Chains A and B, each alone.
Chain A
Amino acid sequence: MDVQTLTYLIVGVTFALYIGIAIWSRAGSTKEFYVAGGGVHPVMNGMATAADWMSAASFISLAGIVSFTGYDGSVYLMGWTGGYVLLALCMAPYLRKFGKFTVPDFIGDRYYSQAARTVAVICAIFICFTYIAGQMRGVGVVFSRFLEVDVETGVYIGMAVVFFYAVLGGMKGITYTQVAQYCVLIFAFMVPAIFISVMMTGHVLPQIGFGAELIDAAGNGTGVYLLDKLDGLSAELGFSQYTEGSKSMIDVFFITGALMFGTAGLPHVIVRFFTVPRVKDARISAGWALVFIAIMYTTIPALAAFSRVNMIETINGPESTGVAYETAPEWIKNWEKTGLITWDDKNDDGKIYYAKGPTNEMKIDRDIMVLATPEIANLPAWVIALVAAGGLAAALSTSAGLLLVISTSVSHDLLKKNLMPDISDKKELMFARIAAALGIVMAGYFGINPPGFVAAVVAIAFGLAASSLFPAIIMGIFSKTMNKEGAISGMVIGLLFTASYIVFFKFMNPEINNADHWFMGISPEGIGMLGMLVNFGVAFSVSKFTTAVPDDVVAMVESIRFPKGSGEAHDH
């Protein structure tokens, strides 16, 4: 069977599986509907959280970014895992004890103010919209390759599928569907990585093979270590050293921080810990989630290094002078159809050649790396099809989950609890649908006109979360004296500061978006960490000069600090 038939088959089977589980678990559990996760083991809950978390950005784009930027890509690896430590240690247990539905619920109650709730809702909606904008590009890339259309058409198809998927609905609430999705996506990611690791280094674990010696076709050691080879190739072709990267240290520091603190402030991640049965489970769930995330995240840099070597070698050939276009490998021609690889024969020698600078003839979109890797390494067709199914599982589950958060934020938090308290259920549902549709249209627009690569767009959402919601939640738990005036001004100024810095460089003046013009050399991706410090600073200064926190709120803060007496879990 050819790749395309196999892709339809495997994608079809996995979709049938998700829908089947959704129908089965819904029918069987109407009684327990209101204690979501109540009967779910923390390991399962961790797996579901991991599936929810690992989006198109993780699955499709991240290995590509690491592959093209080497050490610089570490910011995403450390940032998107390190945030879970903050979640587990500083937030999850206390928010679970608090025991209400959403992040705006916590902020509204803790800061005893409708205005604080409104600001939190606006932050949450803003963050989710930015986050989802990065997802549709990933879906588009998958569809464009496997249906052999250009990437724009791929995005339109993706929009239609996600809309259908989200409207079919409730997927998010059903933990077991996400457990299945995790299994599909981790299997799809690990299989090619293990294949390639064995082929190139003889080690089964990519995490070990990544640092090991390369072997030749007969399986004998060549005495050359993978990473040394990669550094050598990079230097030869004019790139910066793979293991050193090209970003400045301060920028790496700030981006890592923005991603870590942002992870701990993302509304759709935090809500997962509101639903577990006990405070104890909130702690351990975060641990299991990170285990399942780390399996993939420690494989990503290995896969990135393997595919970088493979890619350069297949394009430039053994002599490193390029190979003739007619004899070029099939994957290059396949991806040319999507417009994500282009070849411009500058010296008219009929050979393809990849390097940095004016001699380069290949334009290769980073987002294709994971999907193209099995083809580059000549893996069997079913592996290629499996990777497509895994990418779709990752992109669709996260998009659908985010759309549900957007629609509940708009209809429940914003309209029902704020602007129109007497709204009817029917109207509430209508607004929820409108919000979801709006989310998809916006995501589609940014999918077609991306302001950066998938992972880079998503990174902006983290900056916004780090500078707005994260400090408000942390101060709400760890300070008894932080009042509403302080928290609100902190959130507003933190968000405005970060958003305007990003808009200024990314959208208004993209031509001066470089280190010479950045404040202290901090890029828009990293500014969220500075925004967070601004938020803390403003909040503490303002709270010094305004009214004290009421006694009942102080009592509430005291009561969330220990587990005993946590009530029943709530469902969404």
Chain B
Amino acid sequence: MSFESNDKAEGYWRENLRLVLGLLVIWAAVSFGCGVLLVDVLNEFHFMGFKLGFWFAQQGAMYVFVALIFVYVVKANALDKKYNVHED
């Protein structure tokens, strides 16, 4: 066991799950939400010459995906350090 105690191990996993779930909510919101379910509503708005819903489906969702992974990397690495379970 690399953790100092069982409590720490559970704490680490709980924080990790919270981080991942939070990011996945955004992931689903921009793709399944803005790009699919809300597309007709958002298409009423215009953004840089695009209908907004169409823009999310063909551009915006992908930019957010890239950003999500990098946010995850930074936060997950910090979490490893906090609980001292990072690699050497």
Contact = CB atoms under 8 A, between A and B. Distances in A.
Contacts, number: 139
Nearest to B55: A211
A253 B85 contact: no
A294 B73 contact: no
B32 interface: yes
A9 B59 CA distance: 35
Interface stretch (A159-167, A447-455, A504-512, A560-568): A560-568
Interface in B41-57: 43, 47-51, 54-55, 57
Contact of A74 (B27, B51, B58, B73): B58
Interface in B33-88: 35-37, 39, 43, 47-51, 54-55, 57-59, 61-63, 65-66, 68-70, 72-73, 76-77, 80, 83-87
Contact of A243 (B13, B23, B54, B70): B54
A90 B57 contact: no
A329 interface: no
B23 to A, nearest CB: 6
Contacts of A298: 58-59, 62-63
A528 to B, nearest CB: 15
A85 B68 contact: yes
Contacts of B9: 558, 562
A253 B37 CA distance: 8
> What does DSSP make chain A's interface, helix, strand, loop or mixed?
helix
Nearest to B71: A287
B65 A82 contact: yes
Contacts of B73: 88, 280, 283-284, 287
A278 interface: yes
Contacts of B35: 74, 78, 256
A291 B49 contact: no
Contacts of A81: 61-62, 65
A77 B3 CA distance: 41
Interface string A71-97: 101100110011011101110010000
A309 to B, nearest CB: 14
Nearest to B21: A89
Contacts of A278: 87
B76 A225 contact: no
Given A89-B24, A253-B36, A564-B87, A78 B66 contact: no
Contacts of A280: 73, 77, 80, 86-87
Nearest to B16: A561
Contacts of A211: 47-50, 55
Residue of B36, B61, B84 ringed by the most chain A CB atoms within 10 A:
B36
A213 B54 CA distance: 17
A210 B51 CA distance: 12
Contacts of A88: 69, 72-73
Contact of A566 (B50, B57, B62, B87): B87
B5 interface: no
A286 B62 contact: no
Contacts of A494: none
B5 to A, nearest CB: 14
B69 A85 contact: yes
Given A82-B27, A88-B69, A562-B85, A301 B59 contact: yes
A562 B3 contact: yes
Interface string B7-35: 00100110010001001100100011001
Nearest to B84: A564
Nearest to B51: A243
Contact of A256 (B31, B49, B83): B31
Interface string A193-236: 00000000000000110111100000000000111000000000
Interface in A541-572: 558, 561-566
A74 B49 contact: no
Interface string A283-304: 1101100110010011001000
Nearest to A213: B49
Given A89-B23, A298-B59, A562 B65 contact: no
Given A211-B49, A252-B36, A563 B69 contact: no
A190 to B, nearest CB: 16
Contacts of A563: 80, 85-87
A89 B85 contact: no
A214 to B, nearest CB: 10
Contacts of B61: 77-78, 81-82
Contact of B37 (A73, A249, A564): A249
B63 A212 contact: no
24 contacts: A71-B39, A71-B54, A71-B57, A74-B57, A77-B57, A82-B61, A84-B65, A84-B69, A85-B23, A88-B72, A89-B24, A210-B59, A211-B48, A227-B49, A227-B51, A253-B37, A287-B69, A294-B62, A294-B63, A294-B66, A298-B63, A562-B9, A562-B12, A563-B85
The 10 closest A-B pairs by CB, nearest first: A211-B49, A74-B57, A287-B69, A301-B58, A562-B85, A211-B50, A564-B85, A243-B54, A88-B69, A564-B2
Given A86-B24, A93-B76, A562-B80, 8 more contacts: A82-B65, A89-B72, A213-B49, A280-B77, A280-B87, A283-B77, A294-B63, A564-B80
Interface of A: 66, 71, 73-74, 77-78, 81-82, 84-86, 88-90, 93, 207-208, 210-213, 225-227, 243-244, 249, 252-253, 256-257, 260, 278-280, 283-284, 286-287, 290-291, 294, 297-298, 301, 558, 561-566
Interface of B: 2-3, 9, 12-13, 16, 20, 23-24, 27, 31-32, 35-37, 39, 43, 47-51, 54-55, 57-59, 61-63, 65-66, 68-70, 72-73, 76-77, 80, 83-87
